[in-house]
Structure 1
Amino acid sequence: MKAVIQHEFGDSHVLQLAEVVTPIINEDEVLIKTACTSVNYADIKSRKGKKGKGRFPFTLGLDAAGTVVEAGEFSGFEAGDRVIAFPIGGSYAEYVKAHKQLTFKIPEKLSFEQAAAMPTVSILSYILLHDIGQVKKSDTIVVHSGAGGVGSMLVQFAKLAGVKTVIATVGNLSKEDYVKWLGADLVCTYDTFSEEVLQMTNGRGAQVIFDSVAGEVTTASMDCLGLYGTLVQFGNSSGSAGHFKTSDVHSSCRNVKGFSLGTTRKHRPDMLAPAAERVIELFATGKVTLPIARVFDLSEAKQAHDLIESREYEGKVLIKASK
């Protein structure tokens, strides 16, 4: 089968299309013919060696949508099932294998492209909003990187849940219309959001802030997080660590919660099923959507990564793995 592999860390030129051995499954796994896979910012960090230290050669990719072609005896699936999955060993490949706890059936009416766009960003967002942030309808929340994949889903899920005020940040206000179309009530840039949040809340601050950027954005987030508020930290796309002091939290009764979907897939995969079931239903019924920015062929993985790094896109970037 064909797969995109890399033999070294580096820029997008290290991604190579090659012939590799088709995965062999065990009794708790399924073999999936990949229709599409999404490109996530975590893929960029992994390619550069800034997220984990995989053994070369390795294949990138966190999630996939496709059809089960072989099912292990105790997997609970059968050949022909349409699924989304978090594969073992990457997803930029014509065939992938996945454990039964990380594989979820999808209905016929949900296209493979839309299904491929959703696993990482939508399941993560749903857990962040409802389980980690425990957002209430009366809250004012801040969603950083509102035009990105996770941000796009957080904004939609929040408005669907009836959250009163959703404030989103973007790197460039050229994305303001898109983020407002998703449902955001106010869109700010990173250098002004703290002041605008305080102004909009009459100085009280936000109840929950979702931070995937870190660096200086974390500091500014603490500046506009209200009493008893929660900062949910789940990434560092800025490349810099965020900082806060213990004095930032104890007297104000605020708290900081961290979450990683990768850690949860590895150590608590059982947490994913309830969220996956709910988001699949929401996508299948059209209550939420994730625009597809562009679909690349498997041989165009380099170009897909270049587009992600340019940040000149809205929605999700996909790779089509099979005809």
Structure 2
Amino acid sequence: MRAAQVTRLDGPLAVEINEIDEPTENGIFGPQILIEVHAVGVSFPDLLMSKGEYQLKPDPPFTLGVDIAGVIRSAPEGTGFAAGDRVAACGGVGGAAEVVGLGADNIFPLPDNLSFEQGAALPMNYLTAQFVLQERGHLREGETILVNGAAGGVGTATIQVAKGYGAKVIGVVSSEEKAEIAKKAGADETVMVEGFRDAVKELTGGQGVDMVVDVVGGDTFTDSLRTLATQGRLLVVGFAGGAIPEVKVNRLLLDNTDVRGAAWGEYAMRRPGYMAQQWRELLPMMASGVIDPPIGAVYDLEDMGRALQEMDERKTLGKTVLRVR
């Protein structure tokens, strides 16, 4: 079968499409569910792994791919799944292939109103958003949140899940094109990254926001802290901007604000059944249409390297998806 593989840690353009053996029902860790993959979501961990810069560092050659959607080929009894089921799934690596084998904890029912491309855009980003907003952020209905990098995959997912919980959302973007993506995802307001601190203060009547979800880091971090209202909290999700910022804790003391880490993968992978619980929380939002993943570019599996290169150059809008079937 075809698979998008890293054979050397030289970045996106070194990704190769190779023929490898299909997985079997008896995996390394025991019986597993086999999925015929229809679509693969392109994710930031894929980009980092292509360079050897992610915390998970498999030895080359290895197959990329975190998020997938497809149809179950076979499933052991007692897993709750059966051949023919439409599913989305999430694993650490190995998804960018024609057939994937996974345990039941990593697989979720895909509602009929969502396409395979949308299904491949869901797991990591939307489960991350749910974790950030509820498990770590304790979002309450009626609160106002600020989303940095609002036009990206995690950003748009955060907007939609926050709207599902009844929050007001302000998105921070770097262009009018990205502002349209964020608004289409459901953002109530958008502001340009240049001067966003003052714009947010104006939009909130000088009060600030209850929560900032920050996937960017870098130079905007301090101004993000300054947009918080009293007892506001800033959720650190990632560093797409490259630089890892530092916090002067006297600012937290003076303003009664929090900075909280929010590493979904580390938390979820250690708790069997947690991702399924999160998915059940999100299913009503999928059914109502609040969750409607904005798909950006759609490429063939052979274009995995190109898709990752565009992500590296910060050209990605919404979620990039690869078609497999």
> Same-fold call, TM > 0.5?
yes
1:287–1:198 CA distance, 2 compared to 1 (3 A): closer
Residues of 2 paired with 1:166 and 1:70: CA distance?
A: 42
Question: Which residue does 1:45 correspond to in 2?
Answer: 48
State how 1:1-323 maps to structure 2 within 5 Å. 1-24=1-24, 25-26=26-27, 27-52=30-55, 53-87=57-91, 89-163=93-167, 165-321=168-324, 323=325
- Does the C-alpha gap of structure 1 residues 312 and 31 become closer, same or farther in structure 2, counting only changes over 3 Å? same
State the Cα distance separating 1:313 from its structure 2 match: 4.2
Structure 1 stretch displaced more, 98-107 or 274-283: 274-283
Mapped partners of 2:230, 2:288: distance in 1: 38
Q: Between the two proteins, what is the percent identity of the paired residues? A: 31
Cα 1:183/1:110, change in 2 over 3 Å: closer
Equivalent position SS for 2:65:
coil
CA contact (8 A) 2:63 2:96 kept: yes
* SS of residue paired to 2:63: coil
CA distance in 1, matches of 2:284, 2:141: 21
SS in 2 for 1:130: helix
CA deviations 1:22-51 (Å, max 9, x no partner) are 223345521111111100122112212221
Q: Is the contact made by 1:34 and 1:64 (CA closer than 8 Å) also made in structure 2? A: yes
Amino acid of the residue matched to residue 40 of structure 2?
Answer: T
What 5-or-longer segments of structure 2 have no aligned partner? none
In 1: Cα distance, 2:278 partner to 2:271 partner: 13
Note the C-alpha offset of 1:93.
0.5
- State the Cα RMSD in Å: 2.0
Partner of 2:269: helix, strand, or coil? helix
What displacement does 1:73 show?
A: 4.3
* SS of residue in 2 equivalent to 1:249: helix
TM-score normalised to the size of structure 1? Answer: 0.92
How far 1:60 sits from its partner (Å)? 1.2
Q: Deviations over 1:41-80 (max 9, x none)?
A: 2211221222132211111111111112122345332222
Partners of 1:223 and 1:265 lie apart in 2 by: 30
Which residue type is aligned with residue 157 of structure 2? M
